[in-house]
Amino acid sequence: MSVRRSHHARPPEPPAGPLSLQRNEAPDDQQEIAITPSDSASPGGTPSAGTATPAVELRGITKRFPGVVANHDIDITVRRGTVHALMGENGAGKSTLMKILYGMQKPDEGTIAINGEQVSFATPGDAIARGIGMVHQHFMLADNLTVWENIVLGSEKLYGIGAKAKAKIREISDQYGLGVKPDALVEDLGVADRQRVEILKVLYRGARILILDEPTAVLVPQEVDALFDNLRELKAEGVTVIFISHKLHEVLSVADAISVIRRGTTVGDADPKAVTARQLAELMVGAELPSPESRDSTVTDVEMLRVEGLRIAKPDAEGVERVVLDDISLRIHKGEILGIAGVEGNGQAELVEAIMGMLSPDGGAVTLDGVDLTGARTRARREAGIGYIPEDRHRHGLLLEAPLWENRILGHVTERPNSKGALLDPAGARADTQRIVEEYDVRTPGIEVTAASLSGGNQQKLIIGREMSHRPKLLIAAHPTRGVDVGAQAQIWAQIRSAQREGLAVLLISADLDELIGLSDTIRVIYRGALVADADPATVTAEDLGTAMTGATTGNIVSDRVPSTDTADHVQAGE
Amino acid sequence: MTSPNPPAAGTAGRPRSQRFDLERIGLGLAAPVLAVLLSVIIAGTLLATSGRDPFSAFKIMWDYGTASDGQVAVLNKATVYYLAAAAAAFGFRMNLFNIGIEGQYKLAMMFAAFVGTQIDLPAFLQIPLMLIVAMFVGGLWASIAGLLKVYRGVSEVISTIMLNAIATAVIGVLLVPGILAPKTSGVTNSIQTAKISESSHFFAIETQGGTLWGFIVIAALVGVVFHFTLNRTRFGFDLRATGRSESAAKASGVNVKRMVITSIVVSGALAGLVGLPELMQNTPYFGQNVQTGLGFIGISVALLGRNSPIGIAFSALLFAFLDASGAQLPTRGDFPAEIIPVIQGTIVICVVVAYELVRRFGLKRQQQKVGAELAAQAAAAAAPKDQKEVAA
């Protein structure tokens, strides 16, 4: 594993001056970690690589949606016959980029070249014709048909529907070692087999460039290894694989090249031979080292939230039980911000939903300010004083097509000034919305416009204003500055801090280490559903936190003496 | 950080937003008007191609609609349609498709009729009793679909359609001599309940154009309560929130399961009223020849009226006018009455498409407008904003 070998991770060029790292120029700050600043292929080539024209060349891809820039100036070069990993947190823009490459969406700017030839895709059909195939995260197979029927379906013209087609399927299966049985019924297949059918399906259609969207998300570890063996076979046969993932170790073990996307743009390429998991983590989340303001601790010893032994385990489609939250216990005091660090998908979302009462845990207790909320419904919990800034504000925080003042009511319909008794108080809600708009600097022409017409940052400010207006005892802030412009970001941080001074307890979930270290009083690291490590934000470095996020370190992280666990590559963590 | 909005935003916001609203109303009206026009054109073309003069057909309809007897008939029909549409709209407002109004109103009507035959209280007790029985039966029948959806994940579309068929069968089982029908079923061959008691008759207004059903008052009342509940109560807010985004409603603390059951029961209870005008004002018994299809008309009317209590009032009037005046076409001229379902069908198809187009257009347009206004504001406030950024 390359993780163990990378003693000389730091590139020769001098690191960019940390003082120049303002928050609004995130893309440039990564040179000290990125092995190569951008497109040029890294020197440590793999045996199978080396063809002159790259298989895929994306240049300056920009895609805008109303209110958001999903992709911005993306440059990626994928060499032929390699496994190229595309990494980034959820919402970083990976999916949009792949949809563009697969012809599902058109870029607003930028060019796509396949095998050196400039192309423009109007539909996925055009992409398929160019030899690009995509395996979606959610399989698109008809359960009641056989493997053979599923593969032939829609491509009857290629090899017919009879014996010739079946022979071709066998041939491809043997060629790449996929082990697919054409006559098996899809409903009898497990997840990993279905995935191989999906891969065969695109190969059957002549794909030489394969896009795999988070292929390991649905697999158990042994299946992941088997998949990776398949990918190596494909690579050996000259197929190019683009592999989307945010799982560090998987990427390091299978990829020949890595491109990292953050906030919609490429922040750098890395050579998996020379980069460590924690450097990748930093690259993904943007670990520009903050200057944690010297501030007086506002932490009191009054306990506000107590979570005991929270556990959620759900069986997946295969019937295998997957532990989502593994015996989580934590306490937050008045005036304390507890930050949860972790690579996304390690149980953060479930922890938040369990505390909010949206997900009922299999075990454990939640107590707020001495009141047992374990069996309480979401509304009762909100009324008891939990404010909630959801991770996905469009799905959980707003009614996009409703006016702002109705959005101000959302979540607090039982409380003043939104209602009196069982009746709504639209006048009161409107007046208070106007106040929020002014106090929280929500940029809007009025409170009758729909929430959808505001930019992400202004939507978020409205949500924060709404939650703060009910004087919560505990604020759950999940990625409060995600998708928010720089100006709004600073305001949101300031608002959380000022509420903290007034005695608010905050549970902060963030993928942004900068934000976590800068805001939190205590940091806990979540890995595979368990809180595995804790750290003092005053002394911890982003690098060490990144290591812990990969599950490599446990216990208390002390930055001066990194406990030498199985990752022996600790670089001196200087201030 | 505390710099408030430029004052312009606060004060100038209101009139601007009202302009948005006016525009939205305009857009909202454009869709149904265009849909109606388009369907009239299509119907006219159809008539013309079959060698008939569309204008004389429309004239027959118009003349009927402007005559007082026609107007009374339209109002009576519209009363029934309005109730059916209100039942459908209540479900639609939270994305529940109650296709089962048909079965709900027939069952409710049958039980109400039975109660009307068995009990003879003074009218001021008898009539509320019958209303309550009808609403209870409708709600109870609908609750089956709600429970199935919440606890078994059965789509209410499927279950309500099936419950319609089951309701027909249940009526067939119960409406036999000796159970709900009298042992001797009177002079006709068809099986029906006995006549409801005199005190079960709802009041009517005699006009020069005929008898106007007093039930129109109930329909209006339903509209007022509907509007008030949806727009002025916490329950209504929760319902609309769930309809707009179930995930957001859940995160905001709405008990979505309870909401589903409650609203489908309310929808069923409203559906229970649909058959009563006919029963209490026109045909004082429930029999096999009861009018069918009202539930489906209600769905169309609700779609055209955009599920708003005022909108469905207009669309109920339109559909009632089309039906009542269309019935005149074969008798007053050589025109097929089938042209009316053609018009109604095209209206519904066009209006569904048009509303969606208008919705997307309106959303996009508002985003652009807000963007433009904010850009203008930002330009005006450029200098102080720069300073702030440096501070951050």
**Chain B contact present for A432, CB below 8 A:** no
pLDDT at A319: 64
Distance CA B361, CA A133 (A): 34
pLDDT at B107: 92
- Residue A25 domain flag: no
Q: Do B370 and A448 touch (CB under 8 A)?
A: no
- Residue A103 domain flag: no
Q: Is the sign of the CA dihedral B191, B193, B198, B201 positive or negative? A: negative
pLDDT at A166: 86
- For residue A411, give the chain B residue with the closest CA: B252
| A154 torsion bin: left (phi>0), alpha (psi -120 to 50), beta (else) | left
Instruction: Tell whether the model's pLDDT for residue A289 goes beyond 50.
Output: no
Instruction: Tell whether the model's pLDDT for residue A156 goes beyond 70.
Output: yes
pLDDT at A39: 39
- Residue A422 domain flag: yes
- For residue A458, give the chain B residue with the closest CA: B374
Instruction: Give residue-wise pLDDT tens across range B266-290.
Output: 999 999 999 889 888 888 888 877 8
**Chain B contact present for A396, CB below 8 A:** yes
C-alpha torsion angle, residues A446, A450, A455, A461 (rounded to 10): 70
In terms of Cβ atoms closer than 10 Å to its own Cβ (0-12, 13-18, 19+), residue A510 is buried
Q: Which amino acid is at A104?
A: M
Q: How confident is the model at residue B313 (pLDDT cuts 50, 70, 90)?
A: very high
Q: Do A494 and B236 touch (CB under 8 A)?
A: no
Instruction: Tell whether the model's pLDDT for residue A124 goes beyond 90.
Output: no
The residue with tokens 């929130």 is B241
Q: Which amino acid is at A521?
A: D
Give the pair of three-digit tokens for residue A231.
């990918």
Give the pair of three-digit tokens for residue B257.
């399961």
- Residue A337 domain flag: yes
Instruction: Give residue-wise pLDDT tens across range A454-503.
Output: 777 788 888 998 998 888 899 999 888 876 665 677 778 888 888 888 88
pLDDT at A293: 53
Closest CA relative to residue A165, chosen from A124, A210, A200, A209: A200
- Residue A365 domain flag: yes
Q: Tell me whether 0.90 is exceeded by the ipTM.
A: no
Instruction: Tell whether the model's pLDDT for residue A535 goes beyond 60.
Output: yes
- For residue B251, give the chain A residue with the closest CA: A396
Instruction: Give residue-wise pLDDT tens across range A371-409.
Output: 888 888 888 898 888 999 988 888 888 888 888 889 988
Total domains, chain A: 1
Pairing type for strands A257-262 and A265-270 reads: antiparallel
A410 closest CB neighbour out of B3, B248, B371: B248
The 3-state DSSP class for residue A215 equals helix
Q: Do A397 and B248 touch (CB under 8 A)?
A: yes
Candidates B18, B245, B262, B390: best to mutate against A (most CBs of A within 10 A) is B245
- Residue A471 domain flag: yes
State the CATH number of the domain containing residue A483. 3.40.50.300
Instruction: Give residue-wise pLDDT tens across range B371-380.
Output: 777 767 666 6
pLDDT at B219: 92
**Chain B contact present for A426, CB below 8 A:** yes
**Chain B contact present for A317, CB below 8 A:** no
Instruction: Give residue-wise pLDDT tens across range A322-347.
Output: 788 888 889 998 888 899 988 777 88
Candidates A420, A453, A464: best to mutate against B (most CBs of B within 10 A) is A453
Residues of A in contact with B373 (CB under 8 A): 445
Asked whether A177 and A232 are in contact (CB, 8 A), the reply is no
Containing domain of residue A364, as a range?
303-557
Please name the residues between 476 and 495 in chain A that touch chain B, using a CB distance below 8 Å.
486-487, 490-491, 494-495
Averaged pLDDT for residues A308-314: 85
Q: What is the mean pLDDT of chain B?
A: 83
Instruction: Give residue-wise pLDDT tens across range B162-214.
Output: 999 999 999 888 888 777 777 664 555 667 787 888 887 888 888 888 888 98
- Residue A489 domain flag: yes
**Chain B contact present for A541, CB below 8 A:** no
Asked whether A55 and A239 are in contact (CB, 8 A), the reply is no
Q: Do B369 and A397 touch (CB under 8 A)?
A: no
Q: Which domains does chain B have, with CATH numbers?
A: 76-339 (1.10.3470)
A424 closest CB neighbour out of B234, B367, B374: B234
Q: What is the mean pLDDT of chain A?
A: 77
Residues of A in contact with B367 (CB under 8 A): 66-67, 452-453
- Residue A425 domain flag: yes
Maximal C-alpha separation, chain B: 93
pLDDT at B158: 93
How distant is the Cα of A488 from the closest Cα of chain B, in angstroms?
9
What is the DSSP annotation of A329-348?
A: EEEEETT-EEEEE--TTSSH
The 3-state DSSP class for residue A118 equals strand
